[in-house]
Amino acid sequence: MGALYLGDNLEIMRGLPSESVQLVYADPPFGTNRDRHGPDGGFEDSWRDPQHYVEWLRPRVVEMRRVLRSDGTLYLHLDRRGVHHARLLLDEVFGAHNFQNEIIWHYTGGGRSARRFQHKHDNILVYHKGPGYKFNADAVREPYAPTSGYARSGIVASSGKRYTPHPLGKVMDDVWFIPIVNPLASERTTYPTQKPERLLERIVLASSDPGDLVLDPFCGSGTALVVAERLGRRWIGIDASPAALECCRSRLESLGSLPEE
């Protein structure tokens, strides 16, 4: 149900039809100024300065917007180092009025410092192409808190109108606690920045339907593609690393998917 492309995602995206993609999940280098490599692939992440990073990202964001359908959504996954620069760029390319969320992905694990609060979250910027964007609220509801009085009996507003809890639970907020991939987890690869499937499940369920096309232009270990395949979406994955694409291919073949190339 999908295709893998090896090469520069800018050139490959330029060859994709306009308004053909429902969801773009982009997880580019974060601007860490250190290169990341492992047996399953990796990438260079060294930049002259933040402006150099933004100018590298700019034409790619322009292409992401072009290929999105009018009801499509971009999720741009970064961290504290580049998110403020990227948000200004996305405001320019998508329009500030099309900004919807900054999702905080909170996780634990790793070392601890006695000299600062720990850096234990990533930032995911969510922009829509236009006002008629797709959002499947019922697909991403979660249970009400056990102590919630609203969940037990609802509330009555001062106007007398009664509000009752939704049987599927509440729509989640913009802070998501999802653990990083456990070293012993069955989904674990040796790709250095692998994202957990639970994280991508929320994104894919919220902003696409079965049969829709999902694009990951920095596909790395292939988590977005694996989740899209399992949830019945079509997908396109792009990466400049042959080892990364081999990791993607192996994961997809384990699901019975034979990607085009």
Confidence band for 45, pLDDT divided at 50, 70 and 90: confident
Residue 93 CA to residue 88 CA, distance in Å, equals 9
Confidence band for 31, pLDDT divided at 50, 70 and 90: confident
Give phi and psi for 118, each to the nearest 5: -70, 140
Element (H, E) at 153: helix 149-153
pLDDT number for residue 141: 96
pLDDT number for residue 24: 98
The arithmetic mean of pLDDT across residues 45-64, rounded, is: 93
pLDDT number for residue 86: 96
Domain positions in the chain: 2-254
* Burial class of residue 84 (count of CB atoms within 10 Å of its CB; 0-12, 13-18, 19+): exposed
The arithmetic mean of pLDDT across residues 41-70, rounded, is: 93
For 7, how many CA atoms within 13 A lie in the half-sphere containing its CB?
A: 10
Residue with tokens 């988590």: 223
Enter the tokens of residue 112: 């601890």
pLDDT number for residue 99: 98
Query: What kind of architecture, by CATH, is found in domain 2-254?
Result: 3-Layer(aba) Sandwich (3.40)
DSSP category for residue 260: B
pLDDT number for residue 230: 97
Residue 12, pLDDT above cutoff 80: yes
pLDDT in tens, 127-167: 999 999 999 999 999 999 989 888 888 898 889 899 999 99
pLDDT in tens, 171-198: 999 999 999 998 889 999 999 999 999 9
Neighbours of 161 (CB within 10 A): 8
Residue 260, pLDDT above cutoff 90: no
Confidence band for 35, pLDDT divided at 50, 70 and 90: confident
DSSP string, 26-60: E------SS-EEETTEEE----SSHHHHHHHHHHH
Element (H, E) at 222: none
Residue with tokens 């999802």: 178
Enter the tokens of residue 135: 């959002």
pLDDT in tens, 68-110: 999 999 999 999 999 999 999 999 999 999 999 999 999 987 7
Amino acid at 175: V
- Say which residues have a Cβ less than 8 Å from residue 125's Cβ, sequence separation at least 6: 74, 75, 76, 78, 83, 86, 87, 90, 99, 101, 102, 103
For 135, the 3-state DSSP assignment is coil
Residue 114 CA to residue 179 CA, distance in Å, equals 22
Task: List residues bridging with 214 in a β-sheet.
Answer: 23, 235
pLDDT number for residue 210: 98
DSSP category for residue 146: T
Region class of 146: left (phi > 0), else alpha (psi between -120 and 50), else beta:
alpha
Q: Are the C-beta atoms of 129 and 64 separated by less than 8 Å?
A: no
